[in-house]
Structure 1
Amino acid sequence: MGLRLRLRPNERIIVNGCVLTNGDRRNTITVSSFGQVLRGKYVLQPEDAKTPIRRLYFTIQMLLISGCDDKMLRHASKLGAFVFTHMEDDDERADLLQAMDMVHLRDFYKALVKLHPLLELGQEAEEATEVPSELEAENQAFHAAVQERMTSKSMERAHG
């Protein structure tokens, strides 16, 4: 049996990079084979990725949506290490480590579910945490690579 999703009216999900929107009624769908699935409530918009933990979450979200190569995975690992060094709560650190284990297993959905509760914790302190310029440059290169990958996939589908 596959993954069963109960969708509320007009709820959005992302399946293998495609955005799907439910109709006006509740529905249940089953994903019968493996696919990268992300419920709308877990989607973080780029403009909301302002703190280090949110940048990490957004990076993992993009790995799930667009696919992943070793360079992208290394970037997520570096960002995760940076976030870890700035966390003070042991439980939060444990959750982050579990999420990063899931990232290394390429189970991005489980990583996002583990990180989601941490998005609101320590918001003020995190906003004051400056990301090193080297990591920020890598972050921008990562997002450019993801954008390029998404564009090329769209072009392949259009001409496929």
Structure 2
Amino acid sequence: MPLKLSLKPGEKFVLNGAVVQNGDRRGVLILQNKASVLREKDIMQVEEVNSPARRVYFPVMMMYLDETSAPKVYDEFVLRLTEFMGAIRNPEIQAECVAASRHVMAKEYYKALMSARKLVDYEERLADVASGVQDRIDAG
């Protein structure tokens, strides 16, 4: 089944490890076979790996982008996922952790990445709530 990517002007993405950038107009790219594709918004740079969930996401992203690197980063993934699971109590997020682990074990790295993205989103929502509470305390 082909994958259709609709690209914004100038949008970057990674295709099988190569960074590709769309031109100055909207574009559509249709991939006819299996390839590792990651949009700019889902690419995390090393300097952005600054929280527990991001430390889970990053090695999964590396496994997805370069499957040959999977054995090198697998232990880091397991360590970071174990740390993250030890710190959370939300059953839905714990289930996402288990799903990410299962997907990694099955070498379904894109699916694992989408589960790991949910961990990052959850962590960001918690940070937003904490920030809002702190703002009310400071204003109080």
Aligned counterparts, 1:1-20, within 5 A: 1-20=1-20
Find the counterpart in structure 1 of residue 64 from structure 2: 64
Are 1:12 and 1:19, in contact at CA under 8 Å, matched by a contact in 2? yes
Over the aligned positions, Cα root-mean-square deviation in angstroms equals: 2.1
User: Per-residue CA shift, 1:59-113, capped at 9, x if unaligned?
Assistant: 1111222333434323312321221111111111111211221122222222222
Q: What is the DSSP-based 3-state SS (H/G/I as helix, E as strand, rest coil) of the residue aligned with 1:20?
A: strand
Find the counterpart in structure 2 of residue 78 from structure 1: 79
Distance 1:125 1:23, change over 3 A: closer
Which amino acid is 1:76 matched to? F
Are 2:85 and 2:97, in contact at CA under 8 Å, matched by a contact in 1? yes
Which structure would you say has the larger Rg?
2
Q: What is the DSSP-based 3-state SS (H/G/I as helix, E as strand, rest coil) of the residue aligned with 2:96?
A: helix
Find the counterpart in structure 1 of residue 55 from structure 2: 55
Find the counterpart in structure 1 of residue 138 from structure 2: none
Are 1:59 and 1:76, in contact at CA under 8 Å, matched by a contact in 2? yes
Are 1:11 and 1:40, in contact at CA under 8 Å, matched by a contact in 2? yes
Find the counterpart in structure 2 of residue 38 from structure 1: 38
User: Per-residue CA shift, 1:132-160, capped at 9, x if unaligned?
Assistant: xxxxxxxxxxxxxxxxxxxxxxxxxxxxx
Are 1:51 and 1:123, in contact at CA under 8 Å, matched by a contact in 2? no
Percent of matched pairs sharing the same residue: 28
Query: Partners in 2 of 1:57 and 1:103 — Cα distance?
Result: 12
- Using structure 2 for the length normalisation, give the TM-score: 0.78
Distance 1:19 1:91, change over 3 A: same
Q: How many residues align?
A: 126
> Which 4+ residue blocks in structure 1 deviate beyond 6 angstroms?
none
5+ residue gaps, structure 2: 128-140
Are 1:56 and 1:79, in contact at CA under 8 Å, matched by a contact in 2? yes
